Structure 1
Amino acid sequence: MRRRKVPMRKDIVTGEMAPKKELIRIVRDKEGNVSIDKTGKKSGRGAYISMDVEIAKQAKAKKTFNKVFETNVDDQFYDDLIEYTDHEQARKKLFENE
């Protein structure tokens, strides 16, 4: 049986490479709206961030997505990102034990 290649992506906050499935994709569409891409298939410019609450808080403090997407991202997006990251991190721990 052949081993499949694991797609790797770079976390824009830490600069570390990680498997795509362990990261959260953030996307900016043509209209300039920035959102969390839960499916990983939305069209637009994408960037990845680790599924770690502390890294999401760092992104908020540094306004990382403002720089990456060259647009003004409101604080509500960062709060939603932190909440979503916390949820996904807890979910991953829950299903890891099964």
Structure 2
Amino acid sequence: MKQRKVPLRKCVVSGEMKDKKSMIRIVRSKEGEVSIDPSGKMPGRGAYVSIEPEVAKKAQKNDTLSKILDVKISDEFYQELIDYVTHQKARQELFGK
């Protein structure tokens, strides 16, 4: 049977190439609203961040997503991202990939 190609994405914070399932997509809509995209299919400009709490905290410290998505991102959104990533990381460890 033919082996399927695994889609890889680059983390905008760490620069690592990982498979799409171990990343979270952050999307900026045409209206300039930034949100977490769990499905990975929302329309707009996207950026991928690794599902690692340390990476999300580093993104907040360096304000990486504001630079990448070209919009001001609040500390509340970064906290939401850190909470979401921490939750997803715990789920992966509990249930496996």
- TM-score class, shorter-chain normalisation, is over 0.9
Secondary structure of 1:71's aligned partner: coil
In the other structure, the counterpart of 1:93 is 93
The two structures, once aligned, show a CA RMSD in angstroms of 1.0
Amino acid at match of 1:84: Y
Matches within 5 A, 1:1-98: 1-96=1-96
Shift of 1:96: 1.7
TM-score (structure 2 length as normaliser): 0.97
Identity of aligned residues (%): 52
Structure 2 unaligned regions, length at least 5: none
Measured in 1, the distance between the counterparts of 2:3 and 2:40 equals 23
Measured in 2, the distance between the counterparts of 1:44 and 1:70 equals 12
Shift of 1:38: 0.9
Measured in 2, the distance between the counterparts of 1:2 and 1:53 equals 35
Measured in 2, the distance between the counterparts of 1:80 and 1:55 equals 14
Runs (4+) of structure 1 exceeding 2 A deviation are none
Measured in 2, the distance between the counterparts of 1:16 and 1:65 equals 16
Measured in 1, the distance between the counterparts of 2:96 and 2:40 equals 21
Measured in 1, the distance between the counterparts of 2:4 and 2:23 equals 19
Secondary structure of 1:42's aligned partner: coil
